[in-house]
């Protein structure tokens, strides 16, 4: 447990500068358990602290861990160039807290995206050294064949890659959809692997990271949620392969 003054609590949660947070407090815009708080000097226990800012309820979080169902035509960059950035979907406080995508999805790729302000978490989830499996569903221009599945499982050579890249698992869903599991996370990897195997990816959705499944989160495109301890544990648990 830790104790912080209210102005510092608000600052760490992304509500603005310490000066601005003190002004909010002085204006009577902060309440705890229904009581307006105007004292900035008394340290408060942060563990499990619930408070209201401008009539909106918040919970103190040392770090933020978010799952988002990314829609199409949204860029994962914090400095987007051609489409709206993913941070526009989230509260403004998250930008001030330096919340950022854990890895990236292409602007036209949809599905599960993690976001956090915890640098160690971001590194663990995005670094190829940690081999976090990611599950994608790809729509293909040409029909899925046993030969295509075999090539993706054996490995295909991509330009600028020193060795062939192979899927961890790959299975046919229907005539023009396949599920592919990757650990490497290379640039445009699914699309490039399908092209190298003489097919073309027409749509791509990330359905799962580790054992965390998008459909079990119940998020519509553009919706997000905080991840609890049990959901975070799914990201590091031994991967359960699809059958």
- Catalogue the active-site residues: 106
Residue found by looking up tokens 């990271």 in the block: 209
Task: Identify the burial level of 190 via C-beta atoms within 10 angstroms of its C-beta, where 0-12 means exposed, 13-18 middle and 19 or more buried.
Answer: buried
Residue 22 vs residues 51, 62, 91: alpha-carbon distances, Å: 15, 20, 21
Instruction: Give residue for tokens 């949809």.
Output: 110
Q: Is the torsion defined by CA of 72, 166, 168, 151 positive or negative?
A: positive
Pick the closest to residue 210 from 187, 236, 185 (CA basis): 236
Structure tokens, 134: 């990611």
Structure tokens at 147: 């030969």
- Given a contact cutoff of 8 angstroms between Cβ atoms, the answer to whether 34 and 201 are in contact is no
């Amino acid at each position: 447990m830790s104790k912080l003054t209210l102005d510092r609590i608000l600052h760490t949660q992304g509500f603005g500068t310490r000066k601005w947070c003190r002004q909010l407090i002085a204006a009577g815009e902060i309440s705890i358990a229904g009581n307006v708080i105007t004292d900035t000097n008394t340290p408060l226990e942060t563990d499990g602290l619930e408070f209201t800012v401008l009539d909106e309820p918040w919970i103190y979080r040392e770090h933020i861990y978010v799952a988002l169902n990314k829609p199409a035509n949204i860029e994962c960059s914090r400095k987007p160039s051609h489409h709206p950035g993913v941070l526009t979907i989230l509260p403004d406080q998250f930008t001030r807290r330096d919340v950022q995508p854990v890895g990236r999805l292409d602007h036209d790729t949809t599905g599960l995206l993690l976001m956090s302000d915890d640098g160690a978490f971001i590194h663990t989830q995005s670094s190829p050294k940690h081999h976090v499996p990611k599950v994608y569903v790809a729509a293909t221009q040409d029909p899925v064949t046993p030969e295509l599945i075999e090539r993706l499982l054996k490995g295909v050579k991509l330009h600028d890659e020193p060795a062939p890249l192979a899927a961890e698992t790959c299975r046919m869903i229907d005539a023009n959809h396949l599920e592919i599991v990757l650990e490497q996370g290379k640039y445009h990897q699914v699309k490039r692997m399908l092209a190298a195997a003489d097919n073309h990816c027409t749509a791509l959705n990330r359905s799962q990271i580790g054992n965390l499944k998008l459909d079990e989160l119940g998020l519509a495109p553009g919706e997000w949620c905080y991840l609890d301890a049990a959901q975070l544990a799914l990201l590091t648990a031994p991967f359960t392969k699809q059958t």
